[in-house]
Chain A
Amino acid sequence: MSSDNDLHDQMIHFDPYGKKLGMWLFLFTEFLLFGGLFVVYAVYRSMNPEGFHLGSAELDLTVGAINTVFLLTSSLTVALSITALQKGNSKLAINLIMITILFAFAFMFNKYYEWTMKFEHGLFPGMEHFNELPVGEKQFFNLYFMMTGLHALHVIIGAILLLVVAWGIKKGTVNQKRYIYLENGGLYWHLVDVIWIYLFPLFYLII
Chain B
Amino acid sequence: MSEEHSEHIVSYKFNILVWIDLLIFTFITIEIAQFDFQALTVVIALIVATIKTLLVGAYFMHLKFENRFLQSVVVGVFLLFIAVLILLFSDYLY
Interface of chain A, main secondary structure:
helix
What is the CB-to-nearest-CB distance from B36 to chain A, in angstroms, rounded to a whole number? 8
Question: Given that A65-B30, A83-B12, A194-B57 are known contacts, is A31 also in contact with B88, CB under 8 Å in the complex?
Answer: no
- CA of A13 to CA of B26 in the docked complex: distance in angstroms? 43
A140 to chain B, nearest CB (A): 14
A121 within 8 A of B: no
CB of B85 to closest CB in A, whole Å: 6
Interface of B is mostly: helix
Inter-subunit contact A15/B9 (CB<8 Å):
no
Annotate B37-54 by CB proximity to A: 1 below 8 A, 0 otherwise: 000011001101100110
Interface string of B53-75 (1 = CB under 8 A from A): 10011011110000000100110
Residues of B within 8 A of A142 (CB): none
Chain A interface bracket (under 10, 10 to 19, 20 to 34, 35 or more): 35 or more
- Once the chains are docked, how many angstroms separate the CA of A187 from the CA of B33? 29
Q: Chain B interface (Cβ within 8 Å of chain A)?
A: 1-5, 9-12, 15-16, 18-19, 22-23, 26, 29-30, 33-34, 36, 41-42, 45-46, 48-49, 52-53, 56-57, 59-62, 70, 73-74, 77-78, 81, 84-85, 88-89, 92-93
Nearest 9 pairs of A and B residues by beta carbon: A201-B45, A205-B33, A76-B19, A13-B2, A79-B60, A16-B5, A79-B15, A86-B9, A72-B22
